[in-house]
Structure 1
Amino acid sequence: MGNYGTSIDEKWQKKWEETNLYKFDENNLGKKLYTLEMFSYPSGSKLHAGHWFNYGPVDSWARMKKMQGYNVFQPMGFDAFGLPAENYAIKTGIHPKDSTMQNIETMENQLKAMGAMFNWDNEVITCNPDYYKWTQWLFLKLFEKGLAYRKNAPVNWCPSCNTVLANEQVLDGACERCSTEVTKKDLTQWFLKITDYADELLQDLDKLDWPEKTKAMQRHWIGKSIGAEVTFKVDNSDLQFDVFTTRVDTLFGVTYVVVAPENNLVDKLTIAEYRDQVEAYKDQAKKQSDIERQSITREKTGVFTGSYAINPINGRKVPIWVGDYVLNTYGTGAVMAVPAHDERDFAFATKYNLPIERVIEGGDSLPYVDYGKMVNSGEFDGLSGKEGITAVIKKLESIELGSGKVNFRLRDWLVSRQRYWGAPIPIVHCEKCGTVAVPEEQLPVELPYDVEFSPDGKSPLSKCKEFINTTCPNCGGPAKREADTLDTFVCSSWYYLRYPDNKNSEIAFDTEKINKMLPVDMYVGGPEHACMHLLYARFITKALRDMGYLNFDEPFLSLRHQGLILGPDGLKMSKSKGNTISPDDYIKEFGSDVFRMYLMFGFDYTEGGAWSDDGIKSIGRFIDRVERILESAREEIGKASNNKTTLDKAEKELNYVRHFTIKSVSDDAARFQFNTSIARLMEYTNAFSKYLSENVKNTTFLKDAVVDFIKLIAPFAPHFAEEQWEFIGMNYSVFNEKWPAFDPSALIKDEIEIAIQVNGKIKAKMNIASGLSEDEIKEAAINNAEVKTFLAEKEVKKVIVVKGRLVNIVVK
């Protein structure tokens, strides 16, 4: 790329750093712009093209905003705990702390070579004690408020990673990290009570500037259902259980009930002669994932317990079955089955010859799952829809066997992990005092270095005597530390709050300061975090607000997702496929600006696409061409000045493109449409080339046009722009300049080009004054010299004018 490459990158990066060009002004928060990209995992040794696609274009957006007068805060850090680093350590024998810190150093250098405006003074690294001390503090605050609790529960277990997984970390029944099939295991685990905020998490989505698809995913994951809870008593027993239903209007059609295999009631409900088959069925169900069990297409299975329940609305005895299509984690872990009006119940009843009784009118066949008039429902016959539901709930409430209920699919967040490389949970277990929080003044509970962390299903810290054995903060007696570590998503659930106050050693963050700096104005990252990180961060923000630490309730006002950069073969990049793209070699050859501009021009930012070496070479040629054109322009500007006060035709044409480009780039880049922004710059370049071929130049006008061009390309090619800015003798730095403003009057053309058709076929083009009347346009078209030859002695039947575009002359 001409004279441009890493030497020019290094020159300007050094000057930017020496002059603190991008230092955030903490005393000027009136127009602050908190711009944040999701920080990276330093489990790999280097940044790849996907990282660049996340960070580079967003930095260009932030640079434009800086030139538009915003005080930009754009920090960077590393999400440094987690399984990938630990698995790498197991494979190589290198301690996860050592490999992680080495990887961070490498990635820091790569990020600095990008030439982004990152505020490195505000860096956070989540595996450092000065950060996870406050992650532990956060856990303790949640514990104090009853939002962190410990219980024995069936959990998702990855036999390969040897740790539990949150529901959100299971994809299609497999571990999201290693794709191993997930099983169920009963363990005592720590949970965060995100369900307390389910309704607010759902409602507040409406006020966020987020992609609709992401909001829809969160709505589905939270899964609000409005219905009723109905109490069924067990026949000949003191037992009773509740079921949740959204269709209480079908209660008269219940012909059996189903309890989840893992429900604690199953053993109590099962009579002796059925016990063996129920136990065998429970063992079988443990091998199935929740996804498999909920599949509509999978054959429904179950086993009879031998017990019966009493339908509270009509006193009818119905059999109690165990079925794995019911999940203990949703609703109450038991369902009422209405096979005439539910597809799953219908399939189950058909298989086991259970009664199927219509109680809703409608449809030619069963199951009929829509709403309709109630039938075979006693006093409720003839009621329909909401009317019937309301009446049945009222009846249940009067006999104290049910009530209206709102239910959510969302489950509490499981945060404990049986692995080494994570923040220790700041809890002590004392035989005398029970579960005791570590006092805040004793934080951080540091992660020991010398630990045997080969996974065997047990928490590695439990094997470290120096760590595990301690004294109880309450009674001073012997106690054991909690051996599990925190899910790394806990670390990333609050990092955006630490960035602005990262050196505070007294508190996690200064509330007054953070309330001025937050929420984040623009957040950018992958869509894969829709129902994990993005949901967790929203929950933590709301919890901290309720504790009085924040005065806002959403962490990220605006959100954008970047697409995926694929390998040249069109497949997802992976080392095993040999199709990964490392930025380093390309930057050495072309410079970081060409690499950045190719990512922005070659791909729709939200879609991504396949890498192309030809594409980056074409951008290199474009920058070469821009360099030559600007050099020619400088030579013209250096000649004797021509300071005409009016613009001739050529200058008006360039001025039109100039202001059209300013408007288009400003609008498109603001919407993250970087590819069209650069396309407009290419058009501006063509217009420059055409103007420079003219004989007479207005040098004052030319310099103004050059100045605007360099400003416009600056966010997309920052090093190149600084070099060109210096060449034309302007004061350092172009990023201290105001972003160009377009002149609407320059977009009104004195002349416009229109096409002239004869019988629908284009025969000529001509320029006309923009203010001509329709009759004047018709006359000009008929008298056009080229058109006259086609008309000859033909009779003109009519002339159609499409204003501003064309004239169609219809002849015999």
Structure 2
Amino acid sequence: MKYNFQEIEKKWNTYWKKHKTFHIKENKKNKYYILNMFPYPSGSGLHVGHCLGYIASDIYARYKRGKGFNVLHPIGFDSFGLPAEQYAIQTGKNPKKTSYENEVRYQKQINNIGISFDWSRKLSTRNPLYYKWTQWMFIEIFNSWYDKNEDKAKSIGLLIKEFENNGNYLTKAYTSYIKKFDSKTWKKYNKYEKEKILQNYRLAFLFDSIVNWCPELNTVLANEEVNNGKSIRGGFSVYKKKMLQWNIRVSAYSKRLINGLNTIKCSKSLKKIQSNWIGKSKICTIIAEIANNNIKLEIPIYYPELIFGITFIVLSKNHFLSKKINSLCNKQTLINNNILYKKFLNTSSDIGILTDNYILHPITKKCIPIFISDFFYSKNELHVIKAGIPEHEKDSMFFSKIFNLETIPVLKVINKNEFCINSLFINKLNRYEARKKILKFIVEKQIGKIKTYYKLRDAIFSRQRYWGEPIPIYFKNKIPISIPKKKLPIILPVIKNYYPKDGKSALQRAKNWAWDETKKKIVSNNLIDYKNIFPIETSTMPSWAGSSWYFLRYMDVHNNKFFLDAKKEKYWKNVDLYIGGAEHGTGHLIYARFWNKFLKDRGWINEEEPFKKILNQGMILSYSAIILKVIGKRIFVSYELKEKKKDLFTYQEMYIDISFIKENNQLNIDKFKKYNNEFMHASFLMEKGVFLCKRKLEKMSKSKFNVINPDHIYYKYGSDVFRMYEMFLGPINQSKSWNEEKIIGVKNFINKFWKLYHINGNFNVCKDPPTFKEMQILHSFIKDIDNKIKKFSFNTCISSFMIIVNKLIKIKCNKEKILEPLVKLISPFAPYIAEELWNKLGKKKSIVYSYIPTYNSKYIEKKVKYIIMFNGKLKFIKNFNSKYSIDEIKNIVLNDYEIKNLLKKKKLKKLIIIPKKIINILY
């Protein structure tokens, strides 16, 4: 009987679905929660790079089930956000429709590779029943502040009570830029004035932010969505722009985000990425006087050795001295300078002004101009004041050009470690020594101090696009007020023309997007009277809003009364293993950890950190295809003509789909034109009728059009072959190249494994007792596989399976007590063939319900570690059977493939063996 994977896979997919094999509930077993990072359902579907993480998580989930754990292994879709909206725009469809279609496609593809997800817990961020709770959480964030005395978030109502009682409790907790007042003053303020003060404390607040603005995408982009001044999606130009935006005060959690890393098991590189992003550092602050005034400023400076390069100071508009300094200035000077500022930035926004005030440099006593601007302001304490050092800072250099300010080079590199520091008392020291000496001088002379700061910036929360969660806020006399929580969700309205235009959100064109405060419902915009009916916020939330807490919802996905039942949260606690790409190591992981800590502060969950262990999967690499396009024209140039035509044309490189490539890197021009209507009449310059493309090995990505769809792989070879080949490519955490030609080896192995249980096409497993040698082979393998799975060394697991199958074929072993445990062991890797063989072995239930076998130590050969050295230099370590004689070890060493490969053509002079310690190979 031939292994017919098409019939077998169809059979077991139907069985798993019918019997709800992977649906789980809370029980008395120990829990294990394994989760893949939230996928967004793109129009092109899954590619083999996505499958890498899903297969790895599935192997471990099946393994933990086999170890007796109650495994939560859910999946859902991050279906809001820019990628989904852009795909909808390209296809001319509504994103609601395209997102649903793409989710259906993803689910089918995932099921076809046998991933044991609990689909009963599927969620989607676009579902109002889900984003109802995202909106609820935003309202709670808006109505919270961070108490620095207790280092936790609290209700804003408690803060208001403090203000009514003089606010003495807050004195030690906040810096001087927050305005101080007594209870009598607070009570005199009107609602607008009170809210203006509260905005300095709320965890969700409005602020005139300098944002990354992309005109082509018509939206604000987060820093991680921009690379070298271009949008990650589309490669469009991105500019700085001032806009009133919602912000989340993530920076308040900087200390806890840093400290929490100590409790997470993950790679050193991931911890380093997080640490660098949060940026804990000891900062020097210098104290400088304002000229002809008694006012002193405390100014942070990251690199004290650059203190002599300061040529200007910038105060944010939120700084407590800004108004006072502004009032001392010559008004005409301010107007003239502001016009200059606007002209330089090509904007009408009132971004910044040059004042008539100066500070005295604390060492040189030189006059340094003071600006008032939010150019450097990032909503945390460190950036309410900025020392400009234009010669050594990119942003400072940009700012200095506006007013043609002086730049002072401080560092001159002499060699890798030595610098010339231009100062009164330091020269030819390395940078560390210079910093140490200047810090000592600053502290001793009492012109500054050392403080702990974090560079983590608050997160901009507004997006000027349609496809996102509506922000549940309406504006009453310019005061933001939250929609009553009982009226959630505020459902995203259906809009035919949802394209953003001229920097305006699609919701600004919605006909019914006003809040009736009396009737507590959404009504027509035409009814807005600013008495009972008010405008609703027209920006939507960023895509990370929904993905910052989805791991909690999986624990209790069908609860309509609250986002998570306390008993279920107590059982599942947090994610035991979180698998995803390292590209999410900054934005998503920081936001999710922040969100979790906030919910804990307010008492809704119990765990400080959402993830116990994080495993970053490596990338699948694939050859992309690039063609040359003449800038501004519909002319394409064959790559070998690049140098010949460089005097005639200016090129840009353009990625194209690898499906357009024929043999020998030739472009299929007809196919390319047919797919791209805009280039139907384009010209193609080439020689001898051949148009060549450039090929480049890089990350498999939809943006690079170099993806391999898994569908044809598992239709051609079977899902078990596809799963095992993906794991066989290399270590899970490393990058590896996709090469379909090498998949034949895994296909041959699966056929061998099938034949191990069959003779002449008939199932043939006997009940004869196994020999001691056979038991040794099995139990050594059980121990080996168990250790490798625990280390996530799935590629070496595949190698071990190949080795044991060859051993068992060689000794013609078909005994049930050997082959039955072998089926259990392979089931996490190749579930379809395992289920079929398990059924043939007479088992009624799915193999999922069986336990992974454990090894018996009496069958395990005791090993001795030997250090293998070549001419006295350590190369590697090998294990030998403790019963082997010196001659036996010598024979094994001389025939070992690794050792023979290292020796190659070198002549072996001597082999020294120190029993149970060292083998030294001299050549």
User: If the length of structure 2 is used for normalisation, what is the TM-score?
Assistant: 0.71
Identify the range of structure 1 (678-687 vs 110-119) with the bigger mean alpha-carbon deviation: 110-119
Distance 1:285 1:770, change over 3 A: same
Q: Distance in 2 between matches of 1:777 and 1:354?
A: 69
CA contact (8 A) 2:27 2:70 kept: no
Distance 1:738 1:371, change over 3 A: same
CA contact (8 A) 2:66 2:848 kept: yes
Aligned to 2:571: 516
The answer to whether residue 516 in structure 2 is matched with residue 466 in structure 1 is no
Give a deviation string over 1:382-403, Cα, whole Å, max 9, x none. Answer: xxx5x655545xx46xxxxx76
**How far off its partner does 1:163 sit?**
0.9
Identify the range of structure 1 (40-49 vs 481-490) with the bigger mean alpha-carbon deviation: 40-49
Aligned to 1:316: 365
Q: Which of 252, 266, 281 does residue 196 from structure 1 map onto?
A: 252
Aligned to 1:712: 825
The answer to whether residue 152 in structure 2 is matched with residue 25 in structure 1 is no
Distance 1:155 1:625, change over 3 A: same
Matched to 1:601, the amino acid is: F
CA contact (8 A) 1:257 1:318 kept: no
Identify the range of structure 1 (473-482 vs 503-512) with the bigger mean alpha-carbon deviation: 473-482
Q: Which of 477, 482, 485 does residue 437 from structure 1 map onto?
A: 482
Distance 1:772 1:191, change over 3 A: closer
Identify the range of structure 1 (155-164 vs 196-205) with the bigger mean alpha-carbon deviation: 155-164
Any residues of structure 2 matched to 1:96-495 within 5 Å, and which? 96-145=95-144, 146-236=202-292, 241-246=297-302, 256-259=311-314, 279-280=339-340, 283-284=343-344, 307-311=357-361, 316-320=365-369, 327-329=376-378, 331-332=382-383, 334-336=385-387, 352=406, 363-364=427-428, 370-373=434-437, 388=441, 390-392=443-445, 395=446, 405-431=451-477, 434-456=479-501, 457-468=503-514, 470-471=516-517, 477-495=532-550
**How far off its partner does 1:609 sit?**
2.1
CA contact (8 A) 2:305 2:434 kept: no
SS at match of 1:55: helix
Distance 1:659 1:363, change over 3 A: farther
Matched to 1:205, the amino acid is: L
Q: Distance in 1 between matches of 2:888 and 2:101?
A: 75
**How far off its partner does 1:164 sit?**
1.1
Matched to 1:364, the amino acid is: K
Any residues of structure 2 matched to 1:744-783 within 5 Å, and which? 744-748=857-861, 771=883
Distance 1:553 1:681, change over 3 A: same
CA contact (8 A) 1:461 1:467 kept: yes
Aligned to 2:784: 664
Give a deviation string over 1:415-450, Cα, whole Å, max 9, x none. Answer: 11111011100001122x821110011100011113
Aligned to 2:5: 5
Give a deviation string over 1:743-787, Cα, whole Å, max 9, x none. Answer: 33323279999x9xxxxxxxxxxxx996477699999x9xxxxxx
SS at match of 2:811: helix
Any residues of structure 2 matched to 1:793-804 within 5 Å, and which? 801=913, 803=915
SS at match of 2:52: helix
CA contact (8 A) 2:518 2:532 kept: yes
- Point out where structure 1 has 5 or more consecutive residues left out of the alignment: 288-301, 375-384, 397-401, 756-767, 782-796
Aligned to 1:86: 85
**How far off its partner does 1:127 sit?**
0.3
Q: Distance in 2 between matches of 1:216 and 1:415?
A: 25
Matched to 1:741, the amino acid is: T
Give a deviation string over 1:280-317, Cα, whole Å, max 9, x none. Answer: 45654679xxxxxxxxxxxxxx9997642134x56934
**How far off its partner does 1:20 sit?**
3.0
**How far off its partner does 1:407 sit?**
2.2
Distance 1:174 1:238, change over 3 A: farther
**How far off its partner does 1:580 sit?**
2.4
CA contact (8 A) 2:474 2:535 kept: yes
Identity %: 33
SS at match of 1:416: coil
SS at match of 1:370: helix
CA contact (8 A) 2:359 2:367 kept: yes
CA contact (8 A) 1:637 1:703 kept: no
Give a deviation string over 1:106-144, Cα, whole Å, max 9, x none. Answer: 211222222221111111111011001111001011011
Identify the range of structure 1 (240-249 vs 48-57) with the bigger mean alpha-carbon deviation: 240-249
Distance 1:483 1:798, change over 3 A: closer
Matched to 1:20, the amino acid is: K
**How far off its partner does 1:91 sit?**
2.2
Q: Distance in 2 between matches of 1:553 and 1:49?
A: 35
Distance 1:806 1:575, change over 3 A: closer
Aligned to 1:760: none
CA contact (8 A) 1:124 1:131 kept: yes
Aligned to 1:743: 856
Aligned to 1:377: none
- Aligned CA RMSD, in angstroms, stands at 4.3
Aligned to 1:562: 617
Distance 1:637 1:617, change over 3 A: closer
**How far off its partner does 1:227 sit?**
2.9
Distance 1:630 1:441, change over 3 A: same
Q: Distance in 2 between matches of 1:718 and 1:355?
A: 65
- Point out where structure 2 has 5 or more consecutive residues left out of the alignment: 145-201, 411-420, 521-529, 625-696, 869-879, 894-908
Matched to 1:327, the amino acid is: F
Any residues of structure 2 matched to 1:640-679 within 5 Å, and which? 643=769, 647=772, 652=773, 654-679=774-799
CA contact (8 A) 1:271 1:307 kept: no
Identify the range of structure 1 (278-287 vs 262-271) with the bigger mean alpha-carbon deviation: 262-271
Aligned to 1:593: 720
Give a deviation string over 1:659-687, Cα, whole Å, max 9, x none. Answer: 33222221222222111011000000111
CA contact (8 A) 1:360 1:371 kept: no
**How far off its partner does 1:162 sit?**
0.8
Aligned to 2:806: 686
SS at match of 2:698: coil
Distance 1:105 1:353, change over 3 A: closer
Aligned to 2:42: 43
Q: Distance in 1 between matches of 2:121 and 2:921?
A: 69
**How far off its partner does 1:351 sit?**
9.6
Distance 1:798 1:430, change over 3 A: closer
SS at match of 2:16: helix
Give a deviation string over 1:153-204, Cα, whole Å, max 9, x none. Answer: 2211111211112233333333232332321111111111111101110111
Distance 1:803 1:363, change over 3 A: same
Q: Distance in 1 between matches of 2:205 and 2:101?
A: 36
CA contact (8 A) 1:209 1:557 kept: yes
Matched to 2:757, the amino acid is: L
Aligned to 1:501: 556
Matched to 1:497, the amino acid is: L
Matched to 2:368, the amino acid is: P
User: If the length of structure 1 is used for normalisation, what is the TM-score?
Assistant: 0.80
Q: Distance in 2 between matches of 1:417 and 1:683?
A: 55
CA contact (8 A) 1:361 1:373 kept: no
Name the larger-Rg structure.
1
CA contact (8 A) 2:724 2:746 kept: yes
Aligned to 2:15: 15
CA contact (8 A) 1:568 1:612 kept: no
CA contact (8 A) 1:725 1:734 kept: yes
Distance 1:728 1:568, change over 3 A: farther
